[in-house]
């Protein structure tokens, strides 16, 4: 479950989707004095509140993939960034939190938003700041477009800005990649991000790496779209696309049905992109319905000097390469059955370009 968290002077406040209000995970905060607000997202566009950010003491911010489900934190590999003592960014995220809160008793989005909910920074006016001794620019984006008041960048536009500025490479890590928009009656191609990747590959010769999670909910059409992406580089010079699937559940393939029924999925739930000059960390997988219906927030960070080992760009690149060269990342043959006797004899792949620690949860911090 995705939630936003803001710590008030006395008690914390939570925002959660109306659809998930029966979950026992929220009972403890309520019983200890926390204020929990539910949003009925179905009243606006049949989506969900999927934002995942925390605001602490009006000074510190976390934004990333992690929710507050103990099973999620125990079984899923998450990634996020923390900003300490950054009241300017806090102010902007507080306005998104306030926007959500303003809708709790409404059945439709207002025709005009209050000026107090306008964005403070966007792609045209970025926050200038120092992150780990590195000169940086940052802004937050929002989805769906229905929830973007004046001066608030739409998530898709934020992602476009990061890809368009890339000169050498674009590394993308997501749980699901499915450029489709679905309704109860039909599914249609959603080209917004898939088309942007093709443009970077063909028109600008930018190297693209896609790291996608492989798990029981992976849509079979994902492989069709990946094959289509690969096909465009077949006879084009300087077109470089590589795709790997990150599988943390290989051991579960050979488990008994009873074990599978009781096991919480082990999953690489990262949702970020890093290039040679910028990073995007969001709350969505690259699936059409996520951006068009669900409420989520993204963060863009631009840095010119990425040689500093403490820079966000360098940290995220190292995390990506750590996962890319790990034994869990592989080019899948979906029809091939695994050899269960060999699953625990995996030899780690050599990693010539990334250095990292032993932790499987390695959030980049600012």
Would the pLDDT of 55 be above 50? yes
Sign of the dihedral through C-alpha 306, 308, 310, 316: positive
Q: What is the pLDDT of residues 323-336, one digit of tens each?
A: 999 999 998 654 44
Q: Mean pLDDT over all residues of the chain?
A: 81
Q: Give yes or no for residue 233 having a pLDDT over 50.
A: yes
Question: What is the rounded average pLDDT of the residues 89-103?
Answer: 93
Confidence (pLDDT) at 256: 53
Span 280-331, pLDDT tens digits: 999 999 999 999 889 999 999 999 877 778 889 999 999 999 999 999 999 8
pLDDT of residue 185: 86
**Under a CB-based contact definition with an 8 Å cutoff, are residues 79 and 65 in contact?**
yes
Q: How many residues does the chain have?
A: 366
User: Looking at residues 71-100, what average pLDDT do you find?
Assistant: 90
**Predicted confidence (pLDDT) at residue 349 exceeds the cutoff of 70:** no
Cβ–Cβ < 8 Å for 232, 201: yes
Bridge partners of 142, per DSSP, are 154, 297
Q: Which of 31-35, 41-45, 112-116 has the highest mean pLDDT?
A: 112-116
Which DSSP state fits 295?
B
Confidence of residue 164 (pLDDT cuts 50, 70, 90): very high
Q: Which residues contact 129 (CB under 8 A, 6 or more apart)?
A: 86, 88, 89, 136, 137, 138
Question: How many angstroms from the chain centroid is the CA of residue 123?
Answer: 19
Cβ–Cβ under 8 Å, residues 291 and 155: yes
Among 134, 131, 53, which Cα is nearest to 305's? Answer: 134
| pLDDT at 125 > cutoff 60 | yes
In this model, does residue 363 exceed pLDDT 50? no
CATH class for the domain made up of 4-345: alpha beta
Residue 338 has pLDDT above 80, yes or no: no
pTM above 0.85, yes or no: no
Q: What's the pLDDT at 354?
A: 39
At 182-203, the pLDDT tens digits run: 888 889 999 999 999 999 999 9
Tell whether the torsion through CA atoms of 112, 117, 121 and 125 is positive or negative. positive
Classify each residue of 107-121 as buried b or exposed e, where b means 16 or more C-beta atoms within 10 Å of its C-beta. Answer: eeeeeebeeebebbb
């Amino acid at each position: 479950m995705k939630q936003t968290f803001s710590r008030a002077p006395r008690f914390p406040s939570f925002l959660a989707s109306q659809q998930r209000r029966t979950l026992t995970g929220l009972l403890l905060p309520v019983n200890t004095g926390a204020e929990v607000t539910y949003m009925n997202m179905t009243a606006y566009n049949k989506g969900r509140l999927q934002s995942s950010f925390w605001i602490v003491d009006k000074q510190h911010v976390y934004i990333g993939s992690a929710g507050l489900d103990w099973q999620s934190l125990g079984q899923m590999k998450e990634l996020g960034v923390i900003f300490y003592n950054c009241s300017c960014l806090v102010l902007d995220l507080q306005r998104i939190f306030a926007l959500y809160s303003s809708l709790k008793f409404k059945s439709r989005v207002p025709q005009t938003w209050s000026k107090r909910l306008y964005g403070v920074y966007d792609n045209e006016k970025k926050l200038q700041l120092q992150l780990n001794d590195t000169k940086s620019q940052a802004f937050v984006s929002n989805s769906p477009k229905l929830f973007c008041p004046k001066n608030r960048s739409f998530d898709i536009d934020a992602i476009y800005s990061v890809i368009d500025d890339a000169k050498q490479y674009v590394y993308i890590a997501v749980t699901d990649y499915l450029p489709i928009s679905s309704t109860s009656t039909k599914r249609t191609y959603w080209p917004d991000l898939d088309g942007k990747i093709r443009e970077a590959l063909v028109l600008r010769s930018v190297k693209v790496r896609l790291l996608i999670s492989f798990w029981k909910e992976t849509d079979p059409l994902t492989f069709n779209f990946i094959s289509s992406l690969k096909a465009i580089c077949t006879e084009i010079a300087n077109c470089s696309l590589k795709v790997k699937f990150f599988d943390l559940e290989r051991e579960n393939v050979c488990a008994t049905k009873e074990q599978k029924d009781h096991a919480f999925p082990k999953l690489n739930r990262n949702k970020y992109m890093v290039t040679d000059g910028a990073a995007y960390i969001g709350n969505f997988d690259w699936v059409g319905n996520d951006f068009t219906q669900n409420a989520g927030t993204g963060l863009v960070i631009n840095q010119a000097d990425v040689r500093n080992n403490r820079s966000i760009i360098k940290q995220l690149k190292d995390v990506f390469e750590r996962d890319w060269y790990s034994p869990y990342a592989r080019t899948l043959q979906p029809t091939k059955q695994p050899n269960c006797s060999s699953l625990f004899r995996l030899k780690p792949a050599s990693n010539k370009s990334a250095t990292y620690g032993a932790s499987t949860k390695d959030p980049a911090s600012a």
